[in-house]
Amino acid sequence: MKIRLPEPDGEIETTWAEPVGDHFRIWNLPWFVYGVGFRDIVEARPTERSGFFDFVRVVEPSGNRLIRVLFEDGNFRSLIDQVETMGCKCEGATEQLFAISVPPAVSLREVARLLMRSELTWELANPTYEDLFLI
């Protein structure tokens, strides 16, 4: 199954999901949307296209946090190895854009410290910076 997630710019991103009762569990890391993470349980409605569903809302957050990292020079292997050693899951959309899922048992603060030391461009996507600091 594929869940269609609306991006902030109005485009649509699709992610793999599996049925869980009347809902769906997200099975890969979102690249461009905010507020949805790996293994979240979501509500979605069927579309006119078979096998595709439109995202409605997160029903049960998995507790996984989502960070996106931009490697402008494509030199990603060392940092990805480090965060995977910490227990995170990583997926690359390209050799420059990676998503990192930080499970509940891994310190978001420690992953953020590593990213700050790296001087790479990165962002919190779930929760967002605004969610964390109530801006």
Domain ranges of the chain: 2-60, 65-133
> Looking at the domain 65-133, which fold is it?
Alpha-Beta Plaits (3.30.70)
pLDDT at 62: 96
Q: How does 26-39 read in b/e, with b if 16+ C-beta sit within 10 Å?
A: beebbbbbbbbbbb
Q: What is the pTM of this model?
A: 0.87
pLDDT at 102: 97
Torsion of CA 110, 83, 78, 39, to 10 degrees: -140
**Per-residue pLDDT in tens (0 to 9) along the chain, 135 residues:** 999 998 888 889 999 999 999 999 999 999 889 999 999 999 999 998 888 999 999 999 999 999 999 887 766 788 889 999 999 999 988 878 899 999 999 999 999 999 999 888 899 999 877 777 765
pLDDT at 135: 57
Beta-carbon contacts of 133 under 8 Å, excluding residues fewer than 6 positions away, are none
